[in-house]
């Protein structure tokens, strides 16, 4: 499916019910594949400002540590770098866990935060979000030879892993409530979670995405629920032996960057540069580079 630029720009102006995909600590990070370790970082260029970008370092291919470990690489880093070239600013990067991201904006140690952020009403009270740069769905990751799991309903009696504090955990909890009451019910991720519900499968939470990936690859868990772009990336890691089961849920999420509340000028710069990157074909090139696929919405 081809990238629809006009649809993207128009859709970003609408008020949508979004969620914040939480980040986590820096443990359980994966070793970077060779083709990523060998990427030559963009050369420095003259600019009017330098902004600090902070994100979780374990959301490959969105954000990950570089080979030295003190900076970030990934799709978001490249995207912000290209936006900066068009709006006369540079970025420097710093890895950061969830617990410090919003505080970093507030105390000025970070100008921009990312790492697969989506928006909810509570977060809108703390930060200002930019135009979204990607729409994502959800998927299950299971072992390549697993023929028994093809949907959330197939998880009865199984072990599911999700990253703590993310929308994937929220979806899993909502699905549990539905299925606990009616095994034939249609799953709607908007249903609220009820306390004290008897659930039909066992859910384990982990701190980082790669920690969950490893539990599925080693057989400690039967499946992991996560964002589709991340799931597709790990499916391509042949040594893990995993496959993607797309989920047809009644909601998707939009990834965006965030700045400190009231930083209207910086937010406008990012939005303006994003529009240029989309229209000149750079976005598609970056997407191919990191996801090895064509962008879809």
How far apart are alpha carbons 23 and 282 in whole angstroms?
Answer: 27
β-strand partners of 55: 95
Going 41 to 4 to 6 to 122, the CA torsion angle's sign is: negative
Task: With beta carbons less than 8 A apart as the criterion, state whether 162 and 212 touch.
Answer: yes
Task: With beta carbons less than 8 A apart as the criterion, state whether 226 and 169 touch.
Answer: no
How far apart are alpha carbons 61 and 287 in whole angstroms?
Answer: 10
Only one residue has tokens 């609220």, namely 192
Domain ranges of the chain: 5-136+253-291, 138-247
The model scores a pTM over 0.85: no
Q: Do domains 5-136+253-291 and 138-247 have the same CATH topology?
A: yes
Among 244, 249, 233, 240, residue whose Cα is nearest residue 290: 233
CATH value of 138-247 in 2.40.30.170, 3.90.700.10, 3.40.190.10, 1.10.3720.10: 3.40.190.10
pLDDT, tens digit only, all 297 positions of the chain = 333 333 333 334 333 333 333 333 344 455 555 444 443 344 455 567 999 999 988 888 999 998 888 899 999 999 999 999 999 999 999 999 877 899 999 999 999 999 888 777 778 889 999 999 998 888 999 999 999 999 887 887 788 888 877 778 777 877 776 655 554 444 443 333 334 344 456 777 877 888 889 999 999 999 999 888 889 889 988 999 999 999 877 666 788 999 999 999 999 999 999 999 999 999 999 999 998 888 865
Architecture of domain 5-136+253-291: 3-Layer(aba) Sandwich (3.40)
How far apart are alpha carbons 61 and 174 in whole angstroms?
Answer: 27
How far apart are alpha carbons 226 and 270 in whole angstroms?
Answer: 27
């Amino acid at each position: 499916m081809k990238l629809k630029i006009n649809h993207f720009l128009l859709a970003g102006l609408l008020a949508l019910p979004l969620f914040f995909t939480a980040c986590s600590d820096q443990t359980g990070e994966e070793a970077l594949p060779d083709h990523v370790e060998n990427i030559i970082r963009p050369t420095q260029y003259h600019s009017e400002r330098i902004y600090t970008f902070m994100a979780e370092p374990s959301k490959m291919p969105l954000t990950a540590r570089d080979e030295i470990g003190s900076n970030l690489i990934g799709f978001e880093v490249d995207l912000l770098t290209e936006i900066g070239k068009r709006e006369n600013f540079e970025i420097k990067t710093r890895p950061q866990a969830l617990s410090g991201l919003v505080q970093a904006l507030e105390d000025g140690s970070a100008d921009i935060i990312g790492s697969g952020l989506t928006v909810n009403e509570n977060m809108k009270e703390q930060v200002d979000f930019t135009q979204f740069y990607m729409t994502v769905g959800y998927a299950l990751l299971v072992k390549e030879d697993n023929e028994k799991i093809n949907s959330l309903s197939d998880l009865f009696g199984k072990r599911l892993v999700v990253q703590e504090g993310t929308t994937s955990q929220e979806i899993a909890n909502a699905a549990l409530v539905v299925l606990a009451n009616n095994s034939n019910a249609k799953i709607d991720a908007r249903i609220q979670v009820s306390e004290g519900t008897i659930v039909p499968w066992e859910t384990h939470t982990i701190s980082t995405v790669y920690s969950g990936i490893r539990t599925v690859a080693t057989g400690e868990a039967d499946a992991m629920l996560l964002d589709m772009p991340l799931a597709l990336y790990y499916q391509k890691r042949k040594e893990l032996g995993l496959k993607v089961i797309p989920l047809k849920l009644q909601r998707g999420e939009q990834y965006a960057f965030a700045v400190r509340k009231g930083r209207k000028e910086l937010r406008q710069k990012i939005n303006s540069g994003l529009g240029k990157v989309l229209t000149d074909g750079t976005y598609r090139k970056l997407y191919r580079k990191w996801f090895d696929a064509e962008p879809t919405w």
